[in-house]
Chain A
Amino acid sequence: MLSFLIFLPLIAALLILILPNRIQNQFKYITLGVSLIQFILSLFIYFNFNSSPINAGINKESQFQWVEKLSWIRLDLGTIGKLEIDYFLGIDGISMPFLILSALVTFVATLASWEIKTKLKAYFSLFLLLNTAVIGVFCALDFFLFYIFYELMLLPLYFLIGIWGGVKREYAAIKFFLYTLFGSVFMLLVIIGLYFSVSDPVNGNHTFNMILMMDPANYADGSIFSALADNNLFGMSARLLAFIVLFIAFSIKVPIVPLHTWLPDAHVEAPTPVSIILAGLLLKVGGYGIIRICFSIFPDAAMQSAWWIGLIGVISILYGALNALAQTDLKRLIAYSSVSHMGFVLLGIASSTSEGISGAMLQMISHGALSAMLFFLVGMIYERVHDREIANFSGLAEIMPQFTAFVMIAFFASLGLPGFSAFMAEAFSLIGAFNSEQVNGLLPRWMAVLASVGILLGAAYFLWTLQRMFFGPTQLKGGDDWLSKLKDVNMREKIALVPLAILALALGIFPSLLFDKMNASILAFVQLILN
């Protein structure tokens, strides 16, 4: 099942490569079909997902669902032992929500791809390849496999930004590529270190199995990352160092301040569908990695660093919001708002309370949907008049009422209006962070207090934009020419926007749709990291 989900887009990509250029205008329908099938399958998984505590997953291999495990590479390395790499997929409450999000965001991004007019064959095959990689990351339970998918995401993204992007696309693409590569190269070292430290209790082979890495008993005595041995490396605890390296690798993706500067450039230069994928899915890979890998494999180091992670979260929230307030380009504004919103994820995870982590998870799903919606909306304006300077528009509500209605939904949902998912997410991230001092003593209360100021700033930049661009008398820089081009929302755009709005609304009113599915896993996770 999961393999089908992962490789369906790859098959479609190959198909597109084979098909003649003559019918290149049909490629988008193939892609759309693929994403629809994925969406239906992910819903099927959602409804058949068992959320009882005995299926919590996290650090118990037997509790994962939809598991596929095949031995993939077995290489006898003589004295070092046997190389054991598995093709190992499975999901639990932490990864399952991302499957639905991936399918939905891909669907929306495909609809946004209608604006792509050149080199369609290359575009759609890369697009589908990216899709394969993203879903693979969320399903992989073998660290080696995970790493392959993780790196596989970079390649299509680099080309998608570099070829179909805006004016400074090459600069943005290479910046993005180097930034993330920087993180993952060191990650590889840690993976190798882990490989040599951990052995499969069944056959004694070294293994890349992530779940085995979560159990301290599987570490060989005196191995580099053994919790008992507590080795030093460059003057600090090896496990802490490994944790920091992995954390930096993932937090570049999240992104955290100060490792975020690739994001505004990448977003501004990327074509709309790629921005949607970037904000909707790529950032979540970072958050997912922190939960699944950093915290689960190195809980001891995570607890040591929680204070700092919380602080980084708070700084990201406030700093991102302040930067958003200063922007004059709508897309850049939304990019910075992502930094701010993802800060809540970090804060929630750092709190290590079930409220905080539930909040962080919900925030990732919610932000996935909302940022996809926001970038889609920006793309709509840009596609029509090739401009997105806030100052060049005024009074759009008068000429594009439906568009404005969608913008208002997206803005208010993002700024945390109750009834939408972001409110529940941010509220529980904050509640978790506030509770932390009493429950586990990790985060001081002032962090939650300070972070809540971010909610105020969020209202300020979104409403200010709304007021400047959409309200007031209609004035456009491009005059009558723009007036004729700025048509209201068409059918295709509605089909893309409505599901996202519904998701945000549904999760805001019935957060149990998500909380119920992941509660068991979150409890197991909290137990794992606090012990």
Chain B
Amino acid sequence: MAGLEFSGFAALLSIVLILLPLLSFIIIIFGKKGGGGNLALANISIAFILSIYLVSLIWNKAPVHYQLNWFLIGEIQFTAGVLLNNLSLLMISLVSGISVLVHIYSRSYMKNDPNIHRYWAYLGLFCFSMLALSISDNLLLIYLFWELVGFSSFLLIGFWFTKHEASQAAKKAFVMNRIGDIGFLLGIMIIFSQFHTLDISILFGEDGLFNASVIKDNLWIFGTQQISEIWLTIAGIGFFMGAMAKSAQFPLHTWLPDAMEGPTSVSSLIHAATMVAAGVFLIARVYPVFDPFVLNMMVFIGAITAFMAATIALTQNNIKRILAYSTISQLGFMVMAMGIGAYSQSIFHLTTHAFFKCLLFLAAGSIIHQLHHYRDKIGLDFDYQDIRMMGGLRKSMPLTFWAMCLASAALIGLPFTSAYLSKDAIIVSAFEWAENRNALSQILPYLMVLTSWLTVFYISRLLFKVFFVKSNLLSLEQVQEIKDPSKKMTYVLVVLAFFCLFLVFSVNPFSSENSWIMNVFPSFNIQKNELFHSIIPIILTFGTLVLIVLSYSLYVKRDNFNGFGKGIFYRFSKREWYLNELYSLVFIANVEKLSKISYWFDQKVIDALVLKSAFLVRLLSLISSWIDKNLIDGLVNATGSLAKLIGRLAKKTQSGKLQQYLTTMLLLLISFFILTYFL
């Protein structure tokens, strides 16, 4: 009984936790214009404290699972409940923690926006759905919050909806996510059809139903249920599609760079640290579903995504776009890690990435914020998100500069940073995984090494252009007038910077093996190879340092170095692999055409047929009316006329003259006798 009481208590706490931000949403959206900041911050802070408390209660202990009946269909009872295990605890504390920081930051960043109450409300809705997603105990609930997360992201991307680009980007994000959602829903249908339940712990637990199902003779069998094996693969692909859309994996990633139209604080929270990680989270939640085929697919899609995004980030000029592609690239790392079975490494990287990417965005936001204000002050018109317009900000914004440096160091995985532990762990696992596989698989780890060096290059380019090189636009004096933003914003940067250090995650700066996150999650099917663990980090770090020096000499020493010419590779990268053009050509244009054709068909064929048949009926009625008038009526009239004619003839005989009657009678009599006697 004590156990039940405890789980009830913990579940109640977690429900209060998720309802707090929802409460902010409801109160603020109906509240007065311009307010809500305090309430939103208070609620999310309490939520954060609760999540830490829950971690202290349950971390690394038996998971808490608590559920209530939701509804009944046929004979199947659907439940709704919370599942608090290490994964969900990590997610809720990560999400609420970063949310608190972003809330504090936003108070200054969004200060003068007239519609700020909407901003707070939407943030509340987002936090609610993201937190609820993390603790939901069944697939239907996860799907529900999964889409709500997408919806709040839609609202926040389109926050400045009067801007055409913003509303366009919001729509794109939602629709592309919907593509993934269809896959997710398909996965749910298959699982439900096979197991008649959607409860995660019943399905995927240690002795869950999923493990009880077997594959035999191309059939996927569970109890009396059997279904072709292909559906297991399809289910895996379906769930992975959902993850691909949410975590911006190739080819469903193009919404994320566009999503940068939203406020930078939103990009930081949603499109860098938390929501985009939901895809990886989903993969982790339903991990047993994926069969080897889907896992391999995950490996390759993750690797391609990581590589592609890194190459695109090399040539972008919008600071947020560079960071967005960097996010995509890092998500590619995580997805690939999931594919090779490096489950714990992937979760670890998810965590470290959340902090340093959030920091990168918030630091970028500080720069954008200050430049924007400066632009308004001097009345000049320039794109304040373009790194070519920045430059030399090192002296004028020292704090931002150092924060950004630290975050970048973490991104490229320099020693003593958090991602040195997590990213290298992934690359090492990739080498271990590839060891006994075919040639194609063996290329993969090298591709990851290359990608991680590309990362060095693009982030160095950003840093040098923003902080070192002389500005193309502003004079030295003007640049000096730009200052670090207000204390409230910079404090947040400092806190996040702290979380970019190794110490938070592991005492040993060179080994991830003792990290507290790695220890509580499993890894699968990877043969350990000590050699890789020692050599690879050294090679990586060495290459990284060389590249930093190289790019320093390229961008800072040489004045006005502008990339590598305008060759085909440059254009390919600059135009983001032409994927947007490709999609609009192949999909959007064709769907539009198809919809026009079907409307044409509707009007010219189906409706025309209806009208034709109506016309035929009318024609028929005209013909019959003609017949009626001319033939039938004619016959009637003809009968009438005949009678009239006869009558007229007969009338002539009735003249009333006696002689005529006598003559006629005589003639008749004579005729009668002639006919009788002489013929």
Contacts and interface: CB of A to CB of B under 8 A. Distances in A.
B598 A428 contact: no
Contacts of B70: 511-512
A327 B158 CA distance: 24
B167 A522 contact: no
B71 A452 contact: no
Contact of A323 (B164, B179, B599): B599
Contacts of B178: 455-456, 459
A519 B598 contact: no
Interface residues of B, number: 53
Interface string B580-617: 00000000000110111011001000110010001000
Contacts of A486: none
Contacts of A449: 186
Contacts of B181: 455
Given A178-B614, A472-B167, A326 B596 contact: yes
Interface in A422-478: 423, 427-428, 430-431, 434-435, 438, 445, 448-449, 452-453, 455-457, 459-460, 463-464, 466-467, 470-474
A258 B175 CA distance: 28
B148 A430 contact: no
A455 B594 contact: no
Interface stretch (B139-147, B410-418, B666-674): B139-147
B223 interface: no
Given A355-B74, A466-B171, A512-B70, A326 B185 contact: no
A244 interface: no
A502 to B, nearest CB: 14
B606 A258 contact: yes
Contacts, number: 145
A342 interface: no
A445 B189 CA distance: 10
B167 A261 contact: no
Contacts of B209: none
Contacts of A410: none
A397 B190 CA distance: 40
Given A322-B595, A427-B185, A449-B186, A456 B175 contact: yes
Contacts of A193: none
B182 A455 contact: yes
Interface in B155-170: 158, 161-164, 166-168, 170
Contacts of B192: 431, 434-435
B174 interface: yes
Nearest to B179: A456
A452 B599 contact: no
Interface in B193-237: 193, 225, 227, 231
B649 to A, nearest CB: 52
B36 to A, nearest CB: 16
Interface in A402-429: 412, 417-419, 423, 427-428
SS class, residues of chain B in contact with chain A: helix
A418 B161 CA distance: 23
B420 interface: no
A523 B167 CA distance: 46
Nearest to A394: B164
Nearest to A325: B595
Given A261-B606, A456-B178, A463-B175, A327 B599 contact: yes
A457 B174 CA distance: 12
A505 B167 CA distance: 25
B73 A355 contact: yes
B74 A438 contact: no
A398 B167 CA distance: 13
B119 interface: no
B225 A438 contact: yes
A467 B162 contact: no
Contacts of B151: 412, 417
Nearest to B168: A467
B72 interface: yes
A473 B160 CA distance: 10
Interface string B53-74: 0000000000000000011111
A474 B162 CA distance: 8
Given A419-B148, A455-B178, A435 B193 contact: yes
A338 to B, nearest CB: 14
Contacts of A221: none
A309 B670 CA distance: 89
A342 to B, nearest CB: 16
Contact of A472 (B161, B175, B227, B602): B161
A251 interface: no
Size class of the contact patch on chain A: 35 or more
B493 to A, nearest CB: 33
A418 B147 contact: yes
A434 B189 contact: yes
A54 to B, nearest CB: 17
A358 interface: yes
A178 B610 CA distance: 11
Interface string A170-191: 0000010011000000000000
A115 interface: no
A360 to B, nearest CB: 12
A418 B167 contact: no
Contacts of A398: 162
Given A326-B595, A326-B596, A510 B71 contact: yes
B162 A417 contact: no
A354 B598 contact: no
A10 interface: no
Contact of B171 (A353, A435, A467): A467
Interface string A305-323: 0000000000000010011
A419 B144 contact: yes
Given A326-B595, A326-B599, A471 B71 contact: no
A354 B74 contact: yes
A499 interface: no
A452 B74 contact: no
B144 A323 contact: no
A523 B74 contact: yes
Contacts of A456: 175, 178-179, 182
A395 B614 contact: no
Contacts of A459: 174-175, 178
A526 interface: yes
B74 A323 contact: no
A358 B72 CA distance: 10
Contacts of B595: 322-326
B392 to A, nearest CB: 35
B147 A516 contact: no
Contacts of A434: 189-190, 192-193
Contact of A448 (B74, B144, B170, B189): B189
A515 interface: yes
Contact of A471 (B144, B158, B594, B614): B158
A467 to B, nearest CB: 5
Nearest to A526: B74
B72 A323 contact: no
Interface in B99-157: 140, 143-148, 151
A358 B599 contact: no
Contacts of B193: 431, 434-435, 438
B71 A463 contact: no
A365 to B, nearest CB: 14
23 contacts: A260-B606, A261-B602, A322-B594, A322-B595, A322-B599, A323-B602, A353-B74, A412-B151, A418-B148, A427-B143, A430-B189, A435-B192, A448-B189, A455-B182, A455-B185, A457-B591, A464-B171, A467-B167, A470-B161, A471-B167, A473-B162, A516-B72, A519-B72
Nearest first, the 10 A-B pairs at minimum CB distance are A354-B74, A471-B167, A512-B71, A418-B144, A325-B595, A326-B599, A434-B189, A471-B161, A326-B595, A261-B607
Given A326-B592, A427-B140, 19 more contacts: A260-B606, A261-B610, A319-B602, A322-B598, A323-B598, A325-B591, A326-B598, A354-B74, A431-B189, A438-B227, A456-B175, A463-B171, A467-B168, A472-B161, A472-B162, A472-B164, A512-B70, A512-B72, A526-B74
